[in-house]
Amino acid sequence: MTQQVADEVLGKIARQENDLFRRVREGTLNPESVSRGLQDLIEGRFVNNGVFYAITVNYDRSVEDGVRAGHYDCSNPDITSCHFPSSRKGMAEQKIVLVHFNRGIESDEAIRELDKQGLRSAELPELLAFGAKYPDVQREFPVVALGSVWQSPDGNRNCASLHRLSDERALSLHWLALGWGSHCRFAALSK
């Protein structure tokens, strides 16, 4: 890297650092979360750009209604209220963060890493609310919700994810045993 390019990159980092400090002082970023996130980035554990997506979740809404509200071009027919009952009730304002581990990862390891950060995996009603409100995010990268699992008749454990198939938005089931590619983001919420 030439000295001029290095100086430009360092200048950009310094501007981002100033913006980060300003937002912490203003109270728009949690200092503990920022500190944990920076340490994780330094140690290469995961990448999280600090963006939270505000959603309103109706936990009493049927999965079928949630799928319809998302206007997906295609969805797995096994994503149903019968297969994914919700233990939560009522309405809730939630904030979703998309965690990017920046490497391939197994489902159990992803859940453990989220737990270390004080996060829990998003459940299906939260993923559906996210997909309906932010339909274009899944065009950039797959969004996985490890918090709701259905065991199919063949014994495979599956969770839902939002992703792109060509130009279409898809809501799919994925077998947990297969693991996840480095491009995936994991929808999570504070515990």
Residues 129 and 167 in one domain: yes
**Domain check: are 69 and 7 in the same one?**
no
Its domain, for residue 32, covers 1-43
Is 25 in the same domain as 75?
A: no
Confidence of residue 17 (pLDDT cuts 50, 70, 90): confident
CATH number for the domain that contains residue 172:
3.10.100
The structure's pTM equals 0.75
pLDDT tops 80 at residue 52: yes
DSSP string, the chain: --HHHHHHHHHHHHHHHHHHHHHHHHTSS-HHHHHHHHHHHHHTS-B----EEEEEEETTS-HHHHHHHHT-SEE-TT-STTTS--S--SEEEEEEEEEB-SS-B-HHHHHHHHHHTTEEEPPHHHHHHHHHH-TTHHHHS-EEEEEEEEE-TTS-EEEEEEEEETTEEEEEEEEGGG-B-TT-EEEEEE-
Within this chain, do residues 139 and 166 fall inside the same structural domain, yes or no?
yes
Per the structure, how many domains does the chain have?
2
Whole-angstrom distance, CA of residue 79 vs CA of residue 5: 49
Q: Is residue 44 over pLDDT 50?
A: no
152-170: per-residue pLDDT in tens? 999 999 999 999 999 899 9
